[in-house]
Structure 1
Amino acid sequence: MSRKVAKEPIPTPASKIPAVAQARVLVVEDHPEHRAALIEQLKTLGVASVGLHDGLEALADIERQPPALILMDCHMPGLDGYETTRRIRQREAEQGLPHVPIIAVSAASNAQHLKMCMEAGMDGVLKKPLRPEELQSTLDMWLEPAPQMAHAPVDTPVAAIDIRTLYQTSMDEDIQAAEQSVQSRNAEELAHFAHRMKGAALMLGAHEAADAADRLEQEARSATQFDMARAERLLQVLKEAIARYFAPVDSKR
């Protein structure tokens, strides 16, 4: 379920809240497969959405047309979700605009992440992988009248084989990028790609790979001095976990 982590939102007059049929939800997510999966989930729930790659695209889009709700990834290159939210709240305050609900969508769930969401001005937090009933609850809370599911929810994070295949290609690319980050001793980049792979693994239900990616991310973020040998070992564990998960797919090709 969505968890409130910010001050009570500025009330928006009922006449200003779009009906769900006309509601426009922004999905701000740099990972193309996450973005596609979430857009498809919203479609199933009867809600139109627009997918955006990063915070700068989101800021430009809301200038053209204010959305009814924003689902905001927090860890994006360049302008991350926290800073994007702060800028949106600053714009609302300076121009006297209605409060747009912003819900964080992230694989992170620790206390620091929740604190950063609250301080940025977000209204709730959803943890990847999103289940239809959790997303439905968020829409019920923030959109009026509440949308209804087009059909019964599928009890898997991602059901479509084409999305699974897309994730495999994306994770292969992230592995290569992570290997380059290790060789260049760039802990920040390594943490970024590990986080992306953790989110992808969670969306797929690949828990062994998600745990391995989380260990690699935490090592990259917390180490005071870059330990290449340890980073290489953790990355190898992650590669093997990903290979095991996708082995049934590869065997059918």
Structure 2
Amino acid sequence: MIKLAMLLKRKKGMSFEEFDRYWSGPHADLLLSVPNFTRHVRRYCQSHVIDPSYGGEGLKWPKADFDGIAEVWFDSIDDMNRAFSEPEFVEKVGSDDLNFVDRESVTTIITEELEKIAPNGEAGVKLSVAMRRRPGMSFEDFDNHWTHNHWELITSVPEFTRHLRRYVQCHLVPEYAAADSGNEFHSAWGKAKFDGLAELYFDDVPSMVAAFNEPKFLEVIGPDDGRYTDIPRTELLTVREVDIIAPRQKTAVN
């Protein structure tokens, strides 16, 4: 199964509150009214920025210049392409983007999820970290270090993991990994400028900040970030998940 993450920026002249209301209301309702699109979807989640004034205080990464993340799961790349090519979707939903989204600023990340820590408890906050690899490092080396070396360090620090309610690594699908891939999907929406998406779930923002300021995290895990990520160009969003289409089996396509 794959996950499409679309990092959204509101259209110029629109307030964050107006964007957030339109996205969760009229736009979501419109999308749900197109069964020829939703039949392809396994899950659709809107990740809403909790507090647009929060600039990542207490964390070392800069705040992302986005207003939310639309996340859609499909069984395959082919299903994703079919969904977004449905004529009714293109006519009704695609054109509605212009009412609230700055399409030129949309960034797409097409990924496969690797769940490292399964859900344990109810999370109130998700930290989405859009990562860029360290300059001079190949994508393959970055991806391998993140999957194995960095993960081993995380598991070695229970003082950090005790705060986590879930941890997911979203790895770019190989054919969509290059920022200059030139594929048809990115030519329509915007090429991926990130190399992966880390999702860390916490009880709340204070718990999140406490986790990243644990002395053992700062001693063991923190220094490793600079070995494979470009920290100044890695960006974070602090969000809450809202399921528009809850996880499900795909509706049969006739």
What TM bracket, shorter-length normalisation?
under 0.3
Which of the two has greater helix per residue? 1
Normalised TM-score (structure 2): 0.25
- For CA contacts below 8 A with separation 6 or more, give which structure has more relative contact order: 2
